[in-house]
Amino acid sequence: MPLERLGLQKTTLLDYPGRVAAVLFTQGCPLRCPYCHNPELLQGPPPDSFLPRGEIRAFLHRRRTVLEGVVITGGEPLLHQDLGDLVEEITSLGLAVKLDTSGAFPESLERILRDRPVDMVALDLKTRPERYHLVGGRGDDLLRSLEVLRAWGGRYLLRTTLAPQVVTPEDLDALAALVRPDETWIHQPLREPPPRDGG
Ligand code: SF4
C-alpha cells in the first residue's frame, strides 16, 4: 500500500523527546488492540482528513526552520514498502525522523534501520510476549524487533500503554524482566488521540 496520503498533526512537544516535531499518521495496522484510538486507521482507505503526500511535503518545507523532527506513526508505518522514501524525503529537509512501531514487522524494521537515516524508534511493548494474541499479534515478532533495536546502535525507547484489557500487573512484572536496566521504558496512560488537522 503506497503512502499517497497521510494524517498530519502540525506540532507536538511530547512525542519526540527533545525535539519540536510534527506527526504523520499512516494508514493500516495488522494488530487489533482492544483500546485502539485510531480504528479508522486499521484497514480500508485513508480517512478524508488525510492529506496528499505533496501537501505534506509542502507543509514540512514551509515549517522546516521551526520544526526539528517528524514522528511517523500509525497505524503501523512499517506496513508500507515505500516508508524508506518518506524517511529520505523528510531528512532531506534537515528534519530528524522518529519511527513508532508495534514491532509486527521485524524484517522491515531491520531493513529500514540499516538503509535509511532514522534517528530514533519507539517500540510498543503491549503486553508480555506470551499474551500477544490479546492484541492480534505475535510475541515472536515483538522479541525479534527488540533484538533488531538492540543490535542497531541508535536511540530507541520502549513504551507500554497501561490498558487493563491487555496488561496486568503480572504482565508488567514479566516485561520488567525483559527490559534491560539501560533501556528507557515508558509507561503511558490510555489517552485521547491527538487532534489531527489539515494543511
Ligand atoms: S498497534 Fe496502534 S493502531 Fe494498531 S491496533 Fe494497536 S493501538 Fe491501534
> What's 92's domain CATH number?
3.20.20.70
Q: Which of 25, 29, 80 to mutate to test the pocket of ligand 1 (most atoms within 8 A of CB)?
A: 29
Q: Tell whether ligand 1 has an atom less than 6 A from the beta carbon of residue 75.
A: yes
User: Band of the pLDDT at 37, cuts 50, 70, 90?
Assistant: confident
Rounded CA-CA distance 121/33 in Å is 20
Q: Please tell me the distance between residue 102's alpha carbon and the centre of ligand 1 in angstroms.
A: 7
Q: Tell whether ligand 1 has an atom less than 6 A from the beta carbon of residue 32.
A: yes
Residue 199 lies in a domain: no
Residue 197 lies in a domain: no
- How high is the mean pLDDT of the chain? 94
The range of the structural domain enclosing residue 127 comes to 5-189
User: Band of the pLDDT at 2, cuts 50, 70, 90?
Assistant: confident
Residue 198 lies in a domain: no
Q: Is the peptide bond before 75 cis (omega within 30 degrees of 0)?
A: yes
Number of independent structural domains in the chain? 1
Residue 39 lies in a domain: yes
Q: For the chain, what percent of residues have pLDDT higher than 90? A: 89
Q: Please tell me the distance between residue 136's alpha carbon and the centre of ligand 1 in angstroms.
A: 10
- Strand, helix or coil for residue 106: helix
C-alpha cell at 191: 489517552
Residue 177 lies in a domain: yes
Per-residue pLDDT at 193: 55
| 134-170 confidence digits (pLDDT tens) | 999 999 999 999 999 999 999 999 999 999 999 999 9
